[in-house]
Amino acid sequence: MKTAGKQMTVKPELSRRKENSRPMVSIIIPGYNYRRFCKKRLTSILDQTYRDFEIILLDDASTDGSAAYGEKLLQGSGLTFSIQANKKNAGSAFLQWQKGFTLAKGKYVWFAEADDACHPEFLEKTVTVLERDSSINLAYTASAVINEKNHLVFPDFYKRLHGFISTTKWNGDYVNDGTREIRESLFIMNTIPNASAVVMRSDALRKTGGINQKFILSGDWMTYLTLLRSGKVAYIDRPLNYNRLHTERITHRYEHSEVYFTESLSIARHVLDSMSIPAASKTKYLENIFNCIRCAR
């Protein structure tokens, strides 16, 4: 173990990447006080059928021993991993994302949030799609929803959430032009509400400026919007991501809050200033905002 300032790095001796192996995925795991979910998260990663990856665990000054527990679980795995432990809380999840991304060496990057989990074939399926077409900048899968006890709550989050936008769009795999995706759906709302379902092309993400760090809640949404201006999006209609709902999630704390509305309007202005949006999508955006206002009352 090496400790230098705010950084703690651990690399098992068994970690060696073979030449001519499949493309590496950088798995960035940001978390704060999620020790109780750590075992499920890491086990679901270690059980992946796709094995060419590095793990970057980001601990944002947790007080529950998350970093040490994560190290214990990863030791002896034979996989490349590092633990970046802050001494002081960064105050922003997206600052942590960008920190992890600057350390990433993989062709692809996956922000696997510490409280979520996944199916063993998650990486196998997403990387296969990305490798098939170099113009795809982002691939994501359907998501099941689990609770704090790992019990299934909803088998398919997208179909439940996005019927308002389309009753058919998420009924099968698709590849779409990024600009078209924005105009049809991603402008209306963040149609990829759980980042753990997403794998992105690293070089494309770097070219578009990396992770947007200006928002408390919507940095992921803005990052996707920027990334898809220069490439395609692919959707895999299998719930290979397990999105965990619990009261301590940042999305739960800020749902239908002033922060939510302020950031949503800021993003809408940005998109409208930079590209044309169909009238039907503008109407649906406003309908969604009004629905959220009614829920917040």
* Distances 184 to 174, 231, 250 between C-alpha atoms, Å: 14, 15, 27
What tens-digit pLDDT sequence spans the chain (297 residues)? 333 334 444 444 334 444 447 999 999 999 999 999 999 999 999 999 999 999 999 999 999 999 999 999 999 888 999 999 999 999 889 999 999 999 999 999 999 999 999 999 999 999 999 999 999 999 999 999 999 999 999 888 777 677 789 989 999 999 999 999 999 999 999 999 899 999 999 999 999 999 999 999 999 999 999 999 999 999 999 999 999 987 766 555 556 578 889 999 999 999 999 999 999 999 999 999 988 887 765
Identify the CATH number of the domain in which residue 203 sits: 3.90.550.10
Q: Find where tokens 């990433």 sit.
A: 104
Report the 3 state secondary structure along the chain. CEEECCEEECCCCCCCCCCCCCCCEEEEEEECCCHHHHHHHHHHHHCCCCCCEEEEEEECCCCCCHHHHHHHHHCCCCCEEEEEECCCCCCCHHHHHHHHHHHCCCCEEEECCCCCEECCCHHHHHHHHHHHCCCEEEEEEEEEEECCCCCEEECCHHHHHCCCCCCCCCCCCEEEEHHHHHHHHHCCCCCCCCHHHEEEEHHHHHHCCCCCCCCCCCHHHHHHHHHHHHCEEEEEEEEEEEEECCCCCHHHHHCCCHHHHHHHHHHHHHHHHHCCCCHHHHHHHHHHHHHHHHHHC
Domain hosting residue 7, numbered range: 2-296
pLDDT tens digits along 77-120: 889 999 999 999 998 899 999 999 999 999 999 999 999 999 99
Residue 159 confidence (pLDDT): 73
With 0-12 CB in 10 A as exposed, 13-18 as middle and 19+ as buried, what is 246?
A: middle
pLDDT tens digits along 265-276: 999 999 999 999
pLDDT tens digits along 84-96: 999 999 988 999 9
Say how far apart CA 202 and CA 14 lie, in whole Å. Answer: 26
Into how many domains does the chain fold?
Answer: 1
pTM: 0.91
pLDDT tens digits along 157-179: 777 677 789 989 999 999 999 99
Say how far apart CA 227 and CA 232 lie, in whole Å. Answer: 9
Say how far apart CA 281 and CA 182 lie, in whole Å. Answer: 9
